[in-house]
Amino acid sequence: MDAIQNGLIFGGTGKLGTALSHAFADGWNLRAVGGKEVDVTDKAALRELMAAARPRVVFNAKVIGGVDACEQAPGLAYRINTRFPAHLAELSEELGFTLVHFSTDAVFPDCAPGRAHTESSVPAPLNAYALSKYGADCLIPAITPRAYVLRLSVQFGERPAATQFLERMLEQALEGAPVLRVASDVVCSPSYSLDVAQRVRGILEEGLPCGLYHLANAGQASLFELVFAAVEMLGLSTRVEPVPSATFPAQGRRSRITPLASEKIPALRPWREALADFCQTFKAARAGAR
């Protein structure tokens, strides 16, 4: 792949969008479509934007995330998490771009301890977030063969604001919280968003067939184990305490054991190795900000 490739990212300000911008910084011309630039529920407006930009690839990392948020606004979750990606799939058929859409381990029920969900595992969404994401997983391949649907598990990584799980925990530890209580019965495949974004680039540049893929760092961990490891790697004195997830009030039914593995592509490097790199970056960014 020699010529500069044009791409558009929806959700470019988010966790994954930030990582995609880094991973595709050279050799690609990726433009993030700002949240206010176009009404993504308006297909005609989207068509106009695409026709002018003529992207070869469109990345959709835009999401109404969080189970509570989607339980409170299921209509919004449907419009952004299901209908918008379906519009993108229709436009990919019409205009010929490749769609790269991101999905989630939350579409799955619990798997047996020690096992992981692969691309052939059967989803069973339990809440409005999971259902809205699974809707897109089903619609996209039914609409276009030009799409990748890439399912991810819990991400850690750089983001302009520390609004997501691990980063929130680390900010609390850095602010001197003596104890962090973290669920030990929620098990995932912790993944570094930068590793994920680099693999996405590899998938496109190697020309892997379109379709469904699970992308995650190798291994699995409870949220407690993830936070414990990060606090230890950063040399912080905060005590990390395992508690059941029922400790925290939450809306919607949730699955708890949803690590991901792929039967199509190799796993990314082990999550602890990736976490160590992230912790170095996190530490350097904090030191630079002081």
Ligand X SMILES: NC(=O)c1ccc[n+]([C@@H]2O[C@H](COP(=O)([O-])OP(=O)(O)OC[C@H]3O[C@@H](n4cnc5c(N)ncnc54)[C@H](OP(=O)(O)O)[C@@H]3O)[C@@H](O)[C@H]2O)c1
Sites of contact with ligand X (CB under 6 A): 11-17, 34-35, 61-65, 80, 102, 104-105, 133, 152-155, 164
Minimum distance from residue 76 beta carbon to ligand X (Å) = 7
Q: Note whether 106 and 253 are within 8 A (CB).
A: no
Report how far residue 216's alpha carbon sits from residue 196's, in angstroms, rounded to the nearest whole number: 7
Find, among 95, 97, 83, the residue nearest to 8 by Cα: 97
CB-wise, 76 or 287, nearer to ligand X? Answer: 76
Residue with tokens 């993504």: 40
CB-wise, 259 or 279, nearer to ligand X? Answer: 259
Residue with tokens 């044009």: 6
CB-wise, 36 or 290, nearer to ligand X? Answer: 36
CB-wise, 180 or 197, nearer to ligand X? Answer: 197
Minimum distance from residue 176 beta carbon to ligand X (Å) = 26
CB-wise, 146 or 214, nearer to ligand X? Answer: 214
Letter for the amino acid at 178?
P
Residue with tokens 């973290």: 182
20: left (phi over 0), alpha (psi -120 to 50) or beta: alpha
Minimum distance from residue 125 beta carbon to ligand X (Å) = 12
Our CA dihedral for 24, 26, 28, 29, rounded to 10 degrees, sits at 100
Report how far residue 164's alpha carbon sits from residue 66's, in angstroms, rounded to the nearest whole number: 10
Residue with tokens 């189970």: 67
Residue with tokens 């993944």: 191
Report how far residue 137's alpha carbon sits from residue 81's, in angstroms, rounded to the nearest whole number: 10
Q: Note whether 16 and 154 are within 8 A (CB).
A: no
Minimum distance from residue 94 beta carbon to ligand X (Å) = 22
Minimum distance from residue 15 beta carbon to ligand X (Å) = 4
CB-wise, 13 or 198, nearer to ligand X? Answer: 13
Minimum distance from residue 75 beta carbon to ligand X (Å) = 12
CB-wise, 64 or 240, nearer to ligand X? Answer: 64
Report how far residue 79's alpha carbon sits from residue 63's, in angstroms, rounded to the nearest whole number: 10
Minimum distance from residue 101 beta carbon to ligand X (Å) = 7
The token pair that represents 156 in the structure block: 């850690």
Vertex 168 angle, CA 137 and 220, to 5°? 55
Minimum distance from residue 290 beta carbon to ligand X (Å) = 25
CB-wise, 104 or 220, nearer to ligand X? Answer: 104
